[in-house]
Amino acid sequence: MSSPQADVKAFNNLNILFVDDDAAFSKTIAMMLHESFGHNTKLATSIYQAYAEIQRSNFDVILLDYKLDDGSGLDVLQWMQDHSIDVPVILVTGHGCEEVAVDAMKLGAYDYVNKGHISFDYIPVLIHKTKERHLVVRQQRQRNTAIQAFQNAVHSSLFLIGQSIVNIQAQLDRQGQASVDDRALEGQTTEALQAIAHETRLIRETIASLNDLNDLLSQERSGEQIALTPRMGQ
């Protein structure tokens, strides 16, 4: 079993934003994270500095103090939500602010820590677990998007197959009502067979596309190589 230290080192050299108006405190944390794990921590002491940094750089994790001179950490969370910014946030609260942490989680924060009980040993573990959880959530979201796209493609493809079958049936019905004249019947038969061949080709191409989508979706499932459904036509 790996040690907590070994687990933390699985994520080295992360880009972290620490938003806190206590510059001395945040600098101490930033120095520790850099010296022990190689994390690059940028500091912001206000909401507007935080906005600027988030827009300028890509961060792996954000440490966000609840009480700031120019507002609340909840304001930052709301702003991130409004702008669809997908970066995991750890809210740093003061004593007795657990109810604030609940509000923060509703706005998308991944975790929270009480500032009065912060341990230098715990902060790296918390950052690691937050980053790990964010990766899992993002992969699940990508899989759900792929599944939805697959389902939409299946619906559209089945509609096209249904149309092709209707066209084939119409050709067969016309063929059954054809004139008894041999020449006319021969020409109509040739035309009908060509139309049926065309519709059959469309059905085969549609099934091939469905199989390709199924294979692609299978590859998205966390490395699982088992297809969601057997390949069609096999």
In whole angstroms, give the CA distance from residue 24 to residue 217.
49
Q: What is the pLDDT of residue 222?
A: 46
Q: What is the pLDDT of residue 100?
A: 86
Domain definitions of the chain by residue range: 4-120, 143-219
Q: What is the DSSP string of 4-63?
A: HHHHHTTS-S-EEEEE-S-HHHHHHHHHHHHHHH--EEEEESSHHHHHHHHHHS--SEEE
Q: What is the pLDDT of residue 80?
A: 96
Smallest CA-to-CA distance from 91 within 69, 76, 71 is with 76
- The CATH number for 4-120, chosen from 3.30.470.10, 3.40.50.300, 3.30.565.10, 3.40.50.2300, is 3.40.50.2300
Return the SS3 of 222. Answer: coil
The type of residue at 96 is: G
Q: What is the pLDDT of residue 49?
A: 95
Q: Is the dihedral of CA 204, 209, 215, 218 positive or negative?
A: negative
In whole angstroms, give the CA distance from residue 89 to residue 18.
10
Q: What is the pLDDT of residue 226?
A: 39
Cβ count within 10 A of residue 73:
28
Q: What is the pLDDT of residue 128?
A: 93
The type of residue at 212 is: D
pLDDT tens for each residue of the chain, 234 residues long: 344 454 555 678 899 999 999 989 899 999 999 998 999 999 999 999 999 999 999 999 999 999 898 999 999 999 999 999 999 999 998 766 677 888 999 999 999 888 877 788 889 999 999 999 999 988 888 877 777 777 777 777 767 766 776 776 666 666 555 544 555 555 666 676 677 677 777 777 777 777 776 666 666 554 444 344 444 444
Torsion of CA 120, 121, 126, 128, to 10 degrees: 110
